Amino acid sequence: MNQTINGMTSILNDAETSYEQGDADIDRAIERFATGKAKLFRDDGAAIYADQVYREKLAALTAELHAVAGRVVAGAEAQIAIVNRLQEAEHSDPIGNLTLDQQQQASARAVFVKEDAALLTLPDLTRRLVGVSAAGSEKVDAYLWGRYARQRIEAEQTQREASGRPLDPLTGAQLSTLIDAITNLEAAIGATPALTRVQATKRIHAARRFQAGVRNRVGDVDGATERVKRDLLASGRYASL
């Protein structure tokens, strides 16, 4: 299971490169479409082919463009699926990586670590986790501080959502540093590197923005955007767009 999740994490870490490649693929597909469509007309703008042949050739060009766009959008959808899997893994408890004796020790210490993790400032909590990680061999402390630091992140997210406050840059940077420290701790006990809800939300939004951008670019080229505008204007609901 860990090997599978680690593989998905590696794929997810390459998401930015994947999006760049997707943009490049769309660039080339749009260029091929535009070049192919231009060849359907003479220099004076008159159509070279009869209507039926013209429609068939344009349909073939459009299908090729849509095939590339579909593949690129599907790639982003796969990234979203991986995010969801990793977010599910985030809810799994790595206590199974401890021996029975270590689990008993963790149970005895849990209340104290939980209280400290809830009360420390984010920078102080991060420093505490770094110190535990530097100690190396203490799996019980690594488990407890990793677990309750993740709960602290979830609590921060819940409070922001309840108050409607946006995530300010300073807090965002502190949370990012804390997540790195948690990941290092969990690696020490062989736990799955997973995503918190904050991380998952950012990843999913990035994928959705990328998908929307692809669809908009293709729609501008194949005429879909213009057709939608015409239909909306014809409906009488809009004076202009």
Residues 180 and 203 in one domain: no
Residues 82 and 101 in one domain: no
Nearest alpha carbon to residue 180 among 206, 158, 153, 159: 153
Question: Is residue 237 pLDDT above 90, yes or no?
Answer: no
Residues 76 and 110 in one domain: no
Residues 204 and 233 in one domain: yes
Number of domains the chain is built from: 2
Q: What is the pLDDT of residues 123-175, one digit of tens each?
A: 999 999 999 988 765 789 988 998 899 899 888 888 888 888 777 778 888 88
pLDDT at 191: 60
Question: Is residue 11 pLDDT above 60, yes or no?
Answer: no
pLDDT at 139: 85
Contact 97, 143 (CB under 8 A): yes
Report which DSSP code applies to 47.
B
Residue 83, amino acid: V
Q: Which residues lie closer than 8 Å to 129 by C-beta, 6 or more apart?
A: 145, 146, 149, 178, 181, 182, 184, 185
Residues 179 and 211 in one domain: no
The helix (run of H) or strand (run of E) holding residue 15 is helix 15-38
Question: Is residue 238 pLDDT above 50, yes or no?
Answer: yes
Question: Is residue 184 pLDDT above 50, yes or no?
Answer: yes
Residues 155 and 76 in one domain: no
What number of H helices and E strands is found in the chain? 9, 0
CATH label of the domain that carries residue 239: 1.10.132
Residues 103 and 152 in one domain: yes
Question: Is residue 4 pLDDT above 50, yes or no?
Answer: no
Question: Is residue 64 pLDDT above 80, yes or no?
Answer: yes
Question: Is residue 3 pLDDT above 70, yes or no?
Answer: no
Contact 117, 145 (CB under 8 A): yes
Question: Is residue 9 pLDDT above 50, yes or no?
Answer: no
Provide the whole-model pTM. Answer: 0.56
pLDDT at 194: 57
Residues 237 and 171 in one domain: no
Confidence of residue 1 (pLDDT cuts 50, 70, 90): very low
Residues 100 and 79 in one domain: no
Domain interval for residue 50: 1-92+195-241
pLDDT at 12: 52
